[in-house]
Amino acid sequence: MTLRLLINTSLVISLLLCASVGFAQDNLNESESQSESSSTFFDSEDRQRFFAMTIGGHKPFTSGDNFMGEGLRGKSGIDFKVQMYVYKHFFIGLATGSSYFDVKNQELLGSYRTSRIAENYVYLGYEFLPAENFRLGLNIAVDGDLNYKNSGFSTSDIAEQHDSARLNRYGLYLHYELAKHFMIYFDYAYNVSKTNIDAPSQLEDFFRKGKYSTIGIGLVFTIGSRDLISRFLN
């Protein structure tokens, strides 16, 4: 089972789970939230959530002296994530998305015009509460893979070639709460793609790693008001 299939399956299961579990707990949480509780930079019972689902878009920017920095130009991208708060504001998440690039130098990569990277990864992180209505999250991908679909060959539109890679990703986001369970987000992520490309020895360094950053914006929907472990402890 590929990571992509695993993540997609998990996303569907997560949605079903959060719909059933999250809503079931909501009545209880509503009454709990009426009691006074303290809120700090690191924790707030009032602002605790169980699941957060994000959907949004991003702009990728390539960088560095590598095949992505020298050969690709970022166009756009889409993101879909589900994260579950395991204990307080520690969370684990599953993400799937795509980034779209134009080839700006075919002499360095091969004779294709566009590249679409399918991104699938599992991430861990922590969410801080710097101010009322704001949430600041840091996350890191613990397992991820990338699939580059290269297409746009001069003689035909139906030809494609694929490259694969492992993903290292370091992210930062800011949520602004518009309502209790509805927010907008801005995020930044630094991505390092460790490719499986076989290349001549003099080009190995050039193709071994690709680097790109993303700046994104989107919507966040949350469900539930207690983290996973608290649900079992209390």
Q: Is 197 in the site for other proteins (CB under 8 A)?
A: yes
Q: Is 201 in the site for other proteins (CB under 8 A)?
A: yes
Q: Is 205 in the site for other proteins (CB under 8 A)?
A: no
Shortest separation between residue 59's beta carbon and other proteins, angstroms: 27
Q: Which two tokens stand for residue 135?
A: 């949430």
Q: Is 133 in the site for other proteins (CB under 8 A)?
A: no
CA distance 81 to 169: 14
CB 216 within 8 A of CB 78: no
Q: Is 50 in the site for other proteins (CB under 8 A)?
A: no
Q: Is 104 in the site for other proteins (CB under 8 A)?
A: no
CB 164 within 8 A of CB 145: yes
145 Cα distance to chain centroid? 12
- Can you tell me which of 110, 133, 138, 182 binds other proteins, judged by CB under 8 A? 110
Q: Is 65 in the site for other proteins (CB under 8 A)?
A: no
Q: Is 37 in the site for other proteins (CB under 8 A)?
A: no
The one-letter amino acid at 221: F
Total residues in contact with other proteins, by rule CB under 8 A? 29
Return the SS3 of 230. helix
Alpha-carbon dihedral sign for residues 168, 51, 32, 130: positive
Shortest separation between residue 53's beta carbon and other proteins, angstroms: 30
CA distance 132 to 148: 40
Q: Is 109 in the site for other proteins (CB under 8 A)?
A: yes
Q: What is the dihedral of CA 159, 165, 168, 170, to 10 degrees?
A: 0
What's the start-to-end Cα distance of the chain, in Å?
Answer: 36
Shortest separation between residue 159's beta carbon and other proteins, angstroms: 4
Shortest separation between residue 77's beta carbon and other proteins, angstroms: 22
Spell out, one character per residue from 135 to 154, where the chain touches other proteins: x when CB under 8 A holds, - when not: ---------------x--xx
Q: Is 111 in the site for other proteins (CB under 8 A)?
A: yes
- Can you tell me which of 27, 38, 40, 156 binds other proteins, judged by CB under 8 A? 156
Phi, psi torsion values for 231, nearest 5 degrees: -65, -30
Nearer to other proteins, 24 or 203 (CB): 203
Phi, psi torsion values for 22, nearest 5 degrees: -60, -50
Q: Which residues bind other proteins (CB under 8 A)?
A: 106-112, 150, 153-156, 158-164, 195-203, 207
